[in-house]
Amino acid sequence: MTSKRPPQPLDEDALRELALRYAGRFATSRGKLLAYLARKLRERGWGGEAPADPEALVARFAELGYVDDSSFALMKSAALGRRGYGARRITETLRAAGIEEADRGAADAQADRWAAADRFARRKRIGPYAMQAPDPKGREKAIAAFLRAGHDYALARRWVDAAPGDFPEAED
C-alpha cells in the first residue's frame, strides 16, 4: 500500500500561483476567487510567515484587471439569457457568484426578457413550440418550469397558454 503524502501548506507564492492559475483558467468574480482561495487554505493550511491575506490578493487581481466583476456579470447574464433563463434566475446566479448590486443592475439592464422566454419555450417545446395543447396538469408543469427558470408568472402564462404554432405578441 502506498500512502498519499499530504500536500504542502501554502505560502504567499503558492497562494498567488493558485489564484493566477484559477483566474487564467476560469472566468471568475472576486467572490468566487475568494471562496476558492479560502477553500484551498482550509484544505492545505498556511505555512507562511505573515498571516494569510486572500482578500488583499483578490483586490490586487481586480486592480490588475485579472478579475472584473462587471464584465463577469455581463457575460454571465448574456449566457444565461441565451439559454432562456429569466431575470430572477440570472440575479440569483450573480448574487451567488458574489457580484455587487451595482454590477448586477448593469447586467440586468441589458437582459431581453421576451427573447429569453422565447428561447426557453423553444427549448422545452412549450406553447407555440408544442405539438399539441397541454392538458391541465401539463399546463401546470410548464408554468412551473418557466417559474423555476426565473420568469415571472404573467410571462409564463402568456407563453404556456399560446396555442401550438400561434406565437404571442411581444410586450412593449
Confidence of residue 92 (pLDDT cuts 50, 70, 90): very high
24-62 pLDDT, tens digit per residue, is 999 999 999 999 999 999 999 998 888 999 999 999 999
pTM of the model: 0.81
Summarize the confidence of residues 139-163 as an average pLDDT: 96
Residue pair 8/47 in contact (Cβ under 8 Å)? The answer is yes
Q: What is the pLDDT of residue 7?
A: 82
What mean pLDDT, rounded, does the chain reach?
92
Q: What is the pLDDT of residue 1?
A: 58
Chain centre distance of CA 85: 10
HSE toward the beta carbon, residue 152, CA cutoff 13 A: 5
The residues, ordered by sequence, that sit 6+ positions from 128 with a Cβ below 8 Å of its Cβ are 121, 159, 162, 163, 164, 165, 166, 167, 168
102-125 pLDDT, tens digit per residue, is 888 877 776 788 999 999 999 999
